[in-house]
Amino acid sequence: MTAHRNTALDGFISNTTIKTGGAILLLAVLFTAASVYESFHLSALASTDVWLPLRTGTWILQNHQVPHAGLFSQYSDSPWRAYSWGFDVLVASAYKVLGLAALPILLMIYRAGLAVVLFWLACGWRGNFWPAVLLSAVAQYALISMPLQSLIGSVLLLSAELGILLFARESGDFRKLYWLPVLFAVWANLDVHVFFGLMVLIIFLGAELLEDLCRRLGVQSFQHGGQILTWMKTLTIVAGCVAATLLSLYGFHIYEAIPTLFRNGALLPYIGELRSSGFRQPQDFVILLLAMAAFFSLGRLHGRDLFKLLLMIFAAVVSFSVQRESWVVVVASVGVIGHIFRAERTAPSSQHGIGPWRMVGLPTVGMVIAVLVTVAAVRIPRSHEALLAYVGQGLPVKACQYIREHKLPEPLFNNYDWGGFLAWYLPEYPVAIDTRNDLYGDEVTLRYFKIARGELPLSEELHFAYAGTVIVPKNSPLAVPLRAGPRFTPVYEDNVALVAVRTALLEQK
């Protein structure tokens, strides 16, 4: 009898160990695959989005203040605020320690963190193991092209906010909401998309109010299966979160950034990320399928969870209107699908999830993630020259070196996408334009794009007409008149860029 019990116990332990080991291995792959991918492809170095934050963060560290004017630009007297100063300082601090290798390493850490947060948002730690694995993997693929920019902080923090709201709504534990003001205080100093988080909070409050009204009127249509929260307490938390956003170093001025999220109509034909999704990439269809799955899950509910429904409507409108904001519907869909799927399961989580390995598995998974990400990071070259050569495959590194070595005349006229890189790598030459549309305004930016596409004569652009040195992509439409002369004389050309100097200034030199 004793031997039989021992055999059964040994079998149970053996099966549990196998399941635990398999789950740990699967989660290690899930949480680190995107980071390992980045260590081989170094997409952070090829991006044009990270250089202006790096330059801004370096300036903040050097001057111990946040900017209020158009630094690094020929519009240096125009007002401009670096609302993402916290992210900028983070990037600059990492660069100070690790050099250019800091950029892909930061992106690797973000991708590992995103995988963990999405798994948590989908209730992966609460018995919803396999659905959470699938949802996290699909969402990571949908967001794999997101570059290293302040927006990645919003992706993580919106996921955290949504998880807190859904778990509090499910359990009725109001104390979970106490974390939200802290979250918003951090968020307000990282990225202007904090306003999307506030919108989700307002939707949450509105759902609580409407559902409370439905209960009072005896209407059963909009009653979710979770616990009832006191909407007055919820209103207090929302007010606390709004107040927390004022802890930004820019104070109430942060609300002046709201128009930058929505006022982009004039630039739609010229900036792809401001247009609606064209469904030309596989990720676009994956995002659509995620949203459809979330709405389908809502339709299968016996009751109607008003918060989840309004959340998905908001997320779909935002994401499918502006391609740059497609991440919103991804995060919302993961949270909605994960929580609905878990709510529909009646058996205890320990029978359907990873319960037996939870206490041992969590620390082990964390250690495995840390080791794998560290190993992947080690393979990134530490040589500044080697990494700069990689950057130079798509950005004008050699052209900038030529301009600096030969002390070509100012002012500079440059390509729109290269403005941030030039501000970092060629700081002695203020740029004519970069991606800070809130600094230049629609009129200046729109005129540049029309000039660059040949829709307006070059004489319409004063920065070009009075430029001493021009640097543009080798195959851009602007390169044609530069080669033709006679106002400008090409002085340097490689596989990436063309540099030309005003002929009159060249003759004087």
**pLDDT tens digit sequence for 88-117:** 999 999 999 999 999 999 999 999 999 999
- Give the C-alpha distances (Å, rounded to integers) separating 338 from 132, 151, 344: 6, 24, 10
225-270 pLDDT, tens digit each? 555 567 778 888 999 999 999 999 999 999 988 887 776 666 777 7
Residue 190 has pLDDT above 60, yes or no: yes
Residue 506 has pLDDT above 90, yes or no: no
Compute the mean pLDDT over every residue in the chain, rounded to the nearest whole number. Answer: 86
Q: Is 492 helix (H, G, I), strand (E, B) or coil?
A: strand
Phi, psi of 226 (to 5 degrees): -85, -165
Range among 190-194, 345-349, 437-441, 500-504 rated most confident: 190-194
Q: Is the peptide bond prior to 356 cis by the omega test (within 30 degrees of 0)? A: no
312-331 pLDDT, tens digit each? 999 999 999 888 899 999 99
Dist. CA 432–CA 63, nearest whole Å: 23
Residue 77 has pLDDT above 80, yes or no: yes
pLDDT at 464: 79
Q: Which two tokens stand for residue 352?
A: 């359907």
pLDDT at 304: 74
CB neighbourhood size of 43 (10 A): 17
Which residue in 68, 52, 131, 170 sits closest to 422, CA to CA?
Answer: 52
441-461 pLDDT, tens digit each? 888 888 888 888 877 777 767
Q: What is the DSSP letter of 229?
A: P
Dist. CA 308–CA 186, nearest whole Å: 25
Q: What is the DSSP letter of 32?
A: H
Q: Which two tokens stand for residue 452?
A: 């660059």
pLDDT at 156: 97
pLDDT at 338: 94
Which residue in 83, 60, 67, 236 sits closest to 153, CA to CA?
Answer: 83
Residue 13 has pLDDT above 90, yes or no: no
Q: How far from each other are the two terminal CA atoms of the chain, in whole angstroms?
A: 101
380 contacts 105 by C-beta, under 8 angstroms: yes
Residue 357 has pLDDT above 50, yes or no: no
Q: Which two tokens stand for residue 255?
A: 């609300």
Dist. CA 327–CA 81, nearest whole Å: 25
* Range with lowest mean pLDDT among 8-17, 104-113, 285-294, 436-445: 8-17
Q: Is 104 helix (H, G, I), strand (E, B) or coil?
A: helix
